[in-house]
Amino acid sequence: MVSAADPEPEPAIVAAVGTFGVQGMVHIPDPLLRSTGWSREGNLPLVIQWIEPGRLRLHLESDVLEQLETYRTKFEHSDAEDAAAFIDMYRPAKLYLIKAARGTKYGVRLEAETASHLAIAMDGDRTIYLEARRAMIDIMSPNCRNKRLQNYVGEILL
């Protein structure tokens, strides 16, 4: 039983709708960032992982650095194609603290190579979907999110 003094449990998944900025900036809403447990001080080193077309995952660099170094060492001595795929799949980034007149915001700037994985047209709808869970944040294009929903719709309809 939860008493009035007990804090409410954090939801397993926190989601938000956002806009992919023209300069490659993805704004991370405070409640979504808070749910990851990450520091909100800014300039936090991250790793962006390609998951599938239209979907990227943000990890704290400190959480995945050891695994990345193991893979990096393995691919140093393999063919160029493996090394290129590894570099393309995992890219460095930073969580920025943006102080504005309307309050503090948080953002991650995606370089052009990384942003291209989202397949969002620069002149069209720039809506993105953000989901935070277990110290990770997923960034999804509308097409990716809709495809995921279609894959599960038969299993979760009431």
Write out the DSSP string of 73-84. HHHHTS-HHHHH
How high is the mean pLDDT of the chain?
Answer: 85
Structural domain for 121, as ranges: 14-60+91-151
Q: Is residue 24 part of a domain?
A: yes
Q: Is residue 115 part of a domain?
A: yes
Could you give the CA distance from residue 101 to residue 76 in angstroms, rounded to a whole number? Answer: 47
Kind of pairing between the strands at 136-140 and 103-109: unpaired
Going by C-alpha positions, the residue among 42, 43, 38 that lies closest to residue 60 is: 38
**Residue 58: predicted pLDDT:** 97
Q: Find the CATH number of the domain harbouring 29.
A: 3.40.1550.20
Average pLDDT of span 119-141: 89
Q: Is residue 135 part of a domain?
A: yes
Is residue 2 pLDDT above 50, yes or no?
no
Is residue 10 pLDDT above 60, yes or no?
no
Q: Which residues pair with 104 in a beta bridge?
A: 99
Q: What is the pLDDT of residues 23-33, one digit of tens each?
A: 889 999 888 99
Going by C-alpha positions, the residue among 135, 130, 107 that lies closest to residue 24 is: 107
Q: Where are the beta strands (DSSP E) in the chain?
A: 14-19, 25-28, 44-52, 55-60, 90-100, 103-109, 127-133, 136-140
Is residue 126 pLDDT above 90, yes or no?
no
What domain count does the chain have?
Answer: 1
**Residue 56: predicted pLDDT:** 96
DSSP 123: T
Q: What is the pLDDT of residues 57-96, one digit of tens each?
A: 999 999 999 999 988 888 777 777 878 888 889 999 999 9
Q: Is residue 83 part of a domain?
A: no
Q: Is residue 78 part of a domain?
A: no
Q: Is residue 51 part of a domain?
A: yes
Q: Which residues pair with 112 in a beta bridge?
A: none
CA angle 66, 71, 75 (to 5 degrees): 150
Q: Is residue 74 part of a domain?
A: no
**Residue 5: predicted pLDDT:** 56
Q: Is residue 157 part of a domain?
A: no
